[in-house]
Amino acid sequence: MRALVTGANGLLGANIIRELLRQGLDVTGVVRPDADLAGLAGLPVALVRGDVLDAPSLAAAASGQDLVFHTAVPFSYWGHEPAEMTRTAVEGSRNVLAAAAASNVRRVVMTSSSVTLGASYRPEVRDETARAEDDAEEPAYVLAKISQEREALEAARQLGVEIVFACPTMSVGPFGASLGPSNGVVTSYLADPLKLSWAGGCNIVSVHDVAMGHVLLAAYGEPGQRYVLGSENLRWAEIHGLVAELAGAPPPRGEASAVACYALAVAEEARARITGAAPLATRAQARMVGRFYWYSHDRAAALGYRPRPARQALAEATAWLAAGRHISRETRAGMRLHRDVHVARLALAASERRFSEGWAA
Amino acid sequence: MPGVVAIAHDGKTDGAVLLDRALSLSGFREAMAPRIAQALAERGACSAIVVPALDGFAADSPARTNPRLVEQLLDVLLDLGVTDVAVGSTRATAALWLENRDVFVAADLLGYRYETPAGWPYDVIDLSEDAEPGAFPSWGPLADTDLSRAWRDADLRLVFSANRTDDDDGYALTLSTLLSVLPRTDKDYHYRYRLDVGDVVAQLLAAAPVHFALIDAVVSGHGQAGGRRPIPLATDTVIAASDPALADYVGALKMGLDPFVSALAATSLRAVRSTPDLAILGSVDVYPGWVNPAPALVASTAVRRGFVTADRAIRPVLQHVDRELFPFRHPANDWLNRSLADVASAGPTGEEGAALLSLVNLAAGELEKVGEAWGVVAAKDLLRQSDAPLNIDPDAVTGAQYDAIAGELLPQTELLRGVAADSGGVRWRFDDGAVLFDGARRIPLPFEAFTDAVPIHRTIQFMNDYAGGRALATARDDTGRVTRQVERNLYLPQPNYTALGGGVTIDVTKIETMDYGPRRQRMFWKTVRSENGSAIADDGIVTFEALGDDTLVTIWGRQHFALPPLWAAIDSQITADMKAALVTEAYGRFFQRTFANLEAVAEGRDVRIGRPWTEASQAEALPVERVADAVRRFTPEGGFDLSAMVKRVLGKGPGATPEPVKIDSDGFRHFQSSGPPEPGPVGQALTVLLSDLRHAARVDSGGER
């Protein structure tokens, strides 16, 4: 069986490719011409240079494929123009579906997001029956994903393409070409000299599990349905406490108020504009303080989805991040990694070695 | 051969005659003849390269060697039997900010004619074009530097400098000109900021000795501004010497200077000051009317050089340039230069400008010290990494010295027996003013995996606050593992806060041995030198040991660092308890961060602090270029239109004249239909900001549901 993955060098794309390779599929990845391919190094995967906004490049890549995994929308709260992000999400998805229809692809698994289910200021758990509203004050990423789901469903109906939506929660783990807000949960806490947490919470999941969930949906998902791919619902203080424990950093000193978070985000954005570096937090993220992005993955669980606990997901993410450029040397020098993180790193290295030794074989 | 320096002076004749006299007086022809004969006998050919000063920024500048004299020297060489003569040089730092500083173009503009007075053709060659590795020993400042094959292979290497003052070194003569043999364009960056330029020149001389050196002092450049604004002065002299250091020694005396005022020349001068049977022929009287840069200017310029960014920004601004010949590459430098070059060299001999510039230099230097101290304490990765070439000869270290280290150090580890460890597992005690300490951590990685990733002979480079240095293996075992090495280490001032009050970089040179067992590896080190006197002792042992499925890392050390006066005074006044608390904190921190670094190295990370120096292949942007880039980030059009920026930020004021949204091909101006005035971006941003803050306040008060 053959599968095409768009956004192949992104956090989800790189992990979906690994999962497909483990299951013995022939995999083709679509990457932009200037993509950073470090996260795909050594993998037996065919790469096609293209762009989801460039329909002909997709048509060629989709030819002969059985499945398409469409992940290519940047998850970002900084550095992307809202209009461009929406265009990539909506027009890019239409192009992918059109290419899939032209090539008689059996099914498209489209990566949406749990944020399309909305969030609450109360600690309540949402499922796939919930929907976020097109509130103009929502971050551009959230609005883009809402539009993408709506437009893609309609386009798939018109084109006669089977589509299933994967709605990952906060996915942490290795191999993304850029840091992204999800792994940023780990790095920004470690880089924060004040070691503050804040109100609200989110659902943390391993990107490995999200990748496996995508492949599961390709086999068993019901066309037109949305599936949350998450793990544990935790308060931010709990998440930061886990990060601190795993990295050997001080635990959270307390919760910053929403006003303080917003003020810090303003200051961070100003610093980022001057230095050219990414901010530790943005105003778009600060507006989300106090909300509970808590979700149930029961619908996916009914298909066999079994995610690992959030602590293990964070240990794996910390293992990968601690060894890379997203944690500064100075921050790393202040860390004392938990044994579980070392174990996760060794397991990750062993898993990568198996690709070079021929996993499928 | 005995050293000789000949000074030909005559106010009533011209340069050609003076050169001929200097050559005759110095025995140049007699000294060169055997070399030429030998080359002709061996290969049937003899090559000579003359390196002149091309530092002139105007056609008739006294900062450049007179091309006519260089060409006359080529004729002399050809008459002696040399078969191939060439004028050689490389591009210098000014080529980064001026056009036409390419060797061939600059030579052309400064008057080289590619034909000698006798009608013989000669080449001008760029000595960077055939630069190749292998010329320099692996342990010195130029260890990784290439050198021109033509220069190395030349049968005769000659330097013919101009005669001028210099605000970097007091004077710029043959040794300064010799620097233009080195290949990198940004010579200030690579040979002055990064390295001790005196050591650079000395090693260059050692690797490819110069056979004769001459100074064109017929018309010299004197004055306080040195090469920035060389003021012509007829000094009617040519100096010829058997060694460039001797030429510079006498040249500086003729200027009335202590020759050792030049950091560039001092190391080489010390090597020749005791030349046997040295003959100085001619008068060493000071040139009449000669004006040198004020000592304060030279000293303050050295201080400014420590602030690399400021120095790189200032130099293009200060240089007097013939813009017709050498236009500025960047309009900002051109504009600043027009405004400030005259100010910085004002006064008949530059004395007014020198006073002002000295203050600016000192201010820049002080700013750098503050920035450096802040970097050490709070922002280590903003510091520039340090290059520290080995400063002992590895061949001079005997096997007995290596063999004695373990036997000397191991018994001292017993001195910590009975000392209670703190909560972090660190023990320490004082011993003769030094601190004996040890600490251990069990790292949850298998011994083989850990030792594969962390070569024990590099452990010191992974320790907390390691700022740079160099190691050279002197022995290896059968499997290629290093068993002996010499190493020079730089560490940030210890404790870091001493940087706020005169604390200096710890600079220690060590000899080291390593032993490797199946379940244990050890490294021993002993300090044999501290170039800046910052350390009295810094010896130690590190052990990697298998412990079940983990690796136990143990570090023992004996350290005694010299405190700067301020901190020594404070140290003498504090109580024993307070001192103990400070030592405990310092070593606790050292171990926490060193062990974290070792873990990080095992993960494959680079743990070295600071910004690396940019290599020649990807030259560091000049400050003016960086400022221009920053302006572009804020101005989408890429220009610096202040009024457009103000309009964009503030929006239209009430009653402002509407601007057309389009002007069509017939010249009609199209306007948007009038409506309520829209706030500018600042107004819009403020509206969003207030709305967000109101929302955040509602969240905090529990009002958001």
| Residue B351 pLDDT > 80 | yes
Q: Is A87 part of a structural domain of the chain? A: yes
Count Cβ–Cβ pairs < 8 Å, chain A vs chain B: 81
| Residue B335 pLDDT > 50 | yes
Q: Stretch B503-524: mean pLDDT, rounded? A: 96
Rounded to the nearest 10°, the torsion over CA A351, A355, A357, A361 is: 110
Query: Would strands B147-148 and B131-132 be described as parallel, antiparallel, or unpaired?
Result: antiparallel
Q: Of all residues in chain B, what percent carry a pLDDT higher than 90?
A: 76
Q: Do A257 and B700 touch (CB under 8 A)?
A: yes
> By the 8 A CB rule, do B279 and B336 touch?
no
Helix (H) / strand (E) containing B436: strand B434-443
Query: Quick check: bond before B495 cis, omega within 30?
Result: yes
Contacts of B692 in chain A (CB under 8 A): 262, 283, 286-287
Q: How far is B379 from chain A (nearest CA, A)?
A: 9
**Res B644: pLDDT:** 55
Model confidence at B277, pLDDT cuts 50, 70, 90, reads confident
Contacts of B596 in chain A (CB under 8 A): 332-336
Model confidence at B571, pLDDT cuts 50, 70, 90, reads confident
Q: Do B696 and A289 touch (CB under 8 A)?
A: yes
**Mean pLDDT computed over every residue of chain A:** 92
The segments of chain A whose pLDDT lies below 70 read 134, 136, 359-361
Q: Do B593 and A334 touch (CB under 8 A)?
A: yes
Contacts of A346 in chain B (CB under 8 A): 445, 449
Q: How far is A334 from chain B (nearest CA, A)?
A: 6
Q: How far is A194 from chain B (nearest CA, A)?
A: 15
**Res B202: pLDDT:** 95
B290-314 pLDDT, tens digit each? 999 999 999 999 999 999 999 999 9
The domain total for chain A is 1
- Domain CATH number, residue A51: 3.40.50.720
Of the residues A135, A291, A331, A332, the best mutation for testing chain B's interface (the one with the most B CB atoms within 10 Å of its CB) is: A332
Higher-confidence position of B382 and B556: B556
Which residues does B contribute to its contact with A (CB < 8 Å)?
380-381, 443-445, 449, 464, 592-593, 595-597, 599-600, 603-609, 633, 689, 692-693, 695-697, 699-700, 704-705
B396-428 pLDDT, tens digit each? 999 999 999 999 999 999 999 999 998 888 999
Token duo for residue A23: 């299951």
Q: Is A243 part of a structural domain of the chain? A: no
Q: Stretch B490-499: mean pLDDT, rounded? A: 91
Q: Identify the closest residue of chain B to A348 by CA–CA distance.
A: B603
Q: Identify the closest residue of chain B to A120 by CA–CA distance.
A: B705
Q: How far is A77 from chain B (nearest CA, A)?
A: 16
Q: Residue B166 pairs with which residues in a beta bridge?
A: B170
**Res B505: pLDDT:** 93
Q: In terms of DSSP H, where are the helices of B437-495? A: 447-453
B381: nearest CB among A289, A330, A342: A330
**Res A77: pLDDT:** 75
CA B1, B3, B4, B5 torsion-angle sign: positive
Q: Is A128 part of a structural domain of the chain? A: yes
Higher-confidence position of A154 and B502: A154
What is the complex's ipTM, to 2 decimals? 0.86
Which residues does A contribute to its contact with B (CB < 8 Å)?
121-122, 137, 199, 257-259, 261-262, 266, 273, 276, 283, 286-287, 289-290, 322-324, 328-330, 332-337, 339, 342-343, 345-346
B193-246 pLDDT, tens digit each? 999 999 999 999 999 999 999 999 999 999 999 999 999 999 999 999 999 999
A62-109 pLDDT, tens digit each? 999 999 999 987 777 777 777 888 888 999 999 999 999 999 998 999
B680-704 pLDDT, tens digit each? 677 888 888 888 899 889 888 887 7
**Res A119: pLDDT:** 92
- The top-level CATH class assigned to B394-603 is alpha beta
Place of tokens 């010390």: B270
Contacts of A276 in chain B (CB under 8 A): 633
Residues 6+ apart with CB under 8 A from B125: B49, B86, B87, B88, B103, B150
> By the 8 A CB rule, do A119 and A79 touch?
no
> By the 8 A CB rule, do A111 and A69 touch?
yes
B142-176 pLDDT, tens digit each? 988 999 999 999 999 999 999 999 999 999 999 99
Q: Do B464 and A343 touch (CB under 8 A)?
A: no
Q: Do A322 and B696 touch (CB under 8 A)?
A: no
Domain boundaries, chain B: 4-287, 394-603, 654-700
Query: Would strands A67-70 and A46-49 be described as parallel, antiparallel, or unpaired?
Result: unpaired
Q: Do B699 and A332 touch (CB under 8 A)?
A: no
Separation of alpha carbons A8 and A31, rounded Å: 6
B700: nearest CB among A259, A332, A343: A259
Mapped onto helix, strand or coil, the DSSP state of residue B346 is coil
Residues 6+ apart with CB under 8 A from B106: B54, B89, B100
Type of residue at B488: R
Model confidence at B638, pLDDT cuts 50, 70, 90, reads very low
SS3 of chain A: the string is CEEEEECCCCHHHHHHHHHHHHCCCEEEEEECCCCCCHHHCCCCCEEEECCCCCHHHHHHHHCCCCEEEECCCCCCCCCCCHHHHHHHHHHHHHHHHHHHHHCCCCEEEEECCHHHHCCECCCCCECCCCCCCCCCCCCHHHHHHHHHHHHHHHHHHHHCCCEEEEEECEEECCCCCCCHHHHHHHHHHHHCCCCEEECCEEEEEEHHHHHHHHHHHHHHCCCCCEEEECCEEEEHHHHHHHHHHHHCCCCCCEEECHHHHHHHHHHHHHHHHHHCCCCCCCHHHHCCCCCEECECCHHHHCCCCCCCCHHHHHHHHHHHHHCCCCCCHHHHHCCCCCHHHHHHHHHHHHHHHHHHHCCCC
Q: Is A316 part of a structural domain of the chain? A: no
Domain of residue A61, residue span: 2-175+206-234+294-308+348-357
A80 to each of A77, A135, A144, B378, B675, how far by Cα in Å? 7, 19, 12, 32, 31
B693: nearest CB among A262, A328, A342: A262
Of the residues B462, B464, B599, B701, the best mutation for testing chain A's interface (the one with the most A CB atoms within 10 Å of its CB) is: B599
Q: Do A323 and B605 touch (CB under 8 A)?
A: yes
Neighbours of B194 (CB within 10 A): 17
- The top-level CATH class assigned to B4-287 is alpha beta
